[in-house]
DNA sequence: TGACAAATGCAACCGTGTTGCAATATCATA
DNA sequence: TATGATATTGCAACACGGTTGCATTTGTCA
């Protein structure tokens, strides 16, 4: 983990961007939590818990920035707000708790979704991606 | 179609609800368009196009009402806003245009998603449903 | 027709997200 | 180490989808 976060920091510097205190903290949050996509509001809270008060504009801009750099990816979990997770370059899906809005990643072994698409009438859309979200109650709320 | 809309109206009356001008128009909009989920804003526009100016609060409340009555269902199309479509009692998915936000329904023949779930680690969630959304460019925007 | 409850409109509000602009902090270079 | 260019940040104001409380209107049934 530690070498990965250093690699990400080096990449940013190499591309002419700065390693501010806030940016480093945000990287730490994402790299220390690799299984749960978080929203802007949640990130703001986590930074506050780390004794760092950050303006919401900065949070939104930083999420967009890290996303553009390919370090994190935007995730649609079906709860109407943008969420982000560390870019793991692996295909997976998400499960959302309808009561507390907790989100986790799930992996479907031998997922045949892509193949099934070949036989589907996609209304002449040019498909660039898909999102599969499961809904229900998490371990705490069930 | 005409007998279905009359049946829906009868059901509402039987349950003690009123058939107002607005409610009847909204039913017409949904029953005359059975393949595209629409948002509150879009419904408001369609009503306006039918020479009926409706307050947005009424639109939101009516959508929630018809949803609670099981006449329409809430649909998550992945664009961050609630959409609704006629309740067709059949399992299907949706495709969203990333440029113009158009949404259409798609059906996967012999969808094995449900069966695949048996072998998936769902993090101890109790699953009640799922949403599969495809993203891309529609016929007009591609 | 009248009365009661359902439905509506209005205004004000909330949460998420965005934009313009001024102030600040980072970092390469001198 | 000091400095200057500019990347980053904060602030205020806004946009948009959605909700709530309350007063008014409307549909229905006796």
Residue B59 C-alpha, separation from nearest chain A C-alpha, in angstroms: 19
**Shared domain check, A62 and A21:** yes
Domain contains A97: yes
CATH number of the domain that residue A108 is part of: 3.30.1490
Question: Residue B128, SS3?
Answer: strand
Question: How far, in Å, CA of B41 to CA of B44, rounded?
Answer: 5
Question: How far, in Å, CA of A95 to CA of B49, rounded?
Answer: 39
Return the pLDDT at A114. 65
Chain D bases under 7 Å from protein CB?
7-13, 16-21, 26-29
Return the pLDDT at A69. 97
Backbone angles phi, psi at A4, to 5 degrees: -70, -40
Closest CA to A126 of B141, B38, B93: B141
Domain contains A141: no
Range of the domain at B109: 93-136
Note whether B103 and B141 are within 8 A (CB): no
Question: Is B15 (CB) below 7 Å from strand D?
Answer: no
CA dihedral B81, A36, A38, A128 (to 10 degrees): -50
Query: Would you call B28 exposed, middle or buried from its count of C-beta atoms within 10 A (0-12, 13-18, 19+)?
Result: middle
Chain C bases under 7 Å from protein CB?
6-12, 15-20, 25-28
Q: How far is CA A85 from CA A14, A50, A108, A124, B24, in A?
A: 23, 19, 18, 31, 45
Question: How far, in Å, CA of A119 to CA of A122, rounded?
Answer: 9
Average pLDDT over residues B120-142: 87
DSSP designation for A118: T
Return the pLDDT at B43. 98
Residue of B nearest to A104 (CA): B123
| A93 strand-pairing partners | A106
Return the pLDDT at B112. 67
Number of domains in chain A: 2
Q: How many C-beta neighbours within 10 Å does residue A123 have?
A: 16
Nearest CB among A78, A95, A119 relative to B109 is that of A119
Return the pLDDT at B47. 97
Q: Which residues in chain A belong to E strands, given as ranges?
A: 38-39, 72-76, 82-86, 93-97, 103-106, 126-137
CA dihedral B73, B74, B75, B80 (to 10 degrees): 170
B115 has pLDDT over 80: no
CATH number of the domain that residue B67 is part of: 1.10.10.10
Query: Would you call B68 exposed, middle or buried from its count of C-beta atoms within 10 A (0-12, 13-18, 19+)?
Result: exposed
**Shared domain check, A116 and A82:** no
Backbone angles phi, psi at B134, to 5 degrees: -105, 145
pLDDT digits (tens, 9 = 90+) for A77-119: 888 899 999 998 888 899 999 989 999 999 887 676 667 777 7
Question: How far, in Å, CA of A131 to CA of B92, rounded?
Answer: 14
**Shared domain check, B76 and B101:** no
pLDDT digits (tens, 9 = 90+) for A9-48: 999 999 999 999 999 999 999 999 877 999 999 999 999 9
Cβ separation A80–B82 shorter than 8 A: yes
- Torsion sign, CA atoms B58, B63, B64, B70: positive
Confidence band of B53 (pLDDT split at 50, 70, 90):
very high
**Shared domain check, B129 and B63:** no
Domain contains B142: no
**Shared domain check, B70 and B31:** yes
Return the pLDDT at A10. 95
Residue of A nearest to B129 (CA): A135
């Amino acid at each position: 983990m530690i070498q990965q976060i250093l690699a990400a920091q080096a990449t940013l510097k190499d591309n002419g961007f700065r390693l501010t205190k806030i940016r480093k903290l945000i990287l730490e949050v994402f790299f220390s939590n690799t299984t749960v996509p978080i929203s802007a509001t949640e990130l703001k809270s986590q930074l506050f818990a780390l004794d760092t008060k950050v303006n919401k504009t900065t949070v939104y801009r930083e999420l967009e920035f890290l996303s553009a750099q390919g370090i994190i990816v935007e995730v649609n979990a079906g709860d109407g707000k943008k969420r982000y997770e560390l870019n793991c370059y692996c295909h997976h899906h998400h499960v959302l708790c309808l009561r507390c809005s907790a989100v986790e990643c799930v992996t479907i072994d031998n997922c045949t979704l892509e193949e099934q698409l070949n036989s589907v009438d996609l209304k002449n859309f040019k498909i660039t991606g898909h999102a599969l979200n499961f809904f229900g109650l998490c371990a705490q709320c069930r």
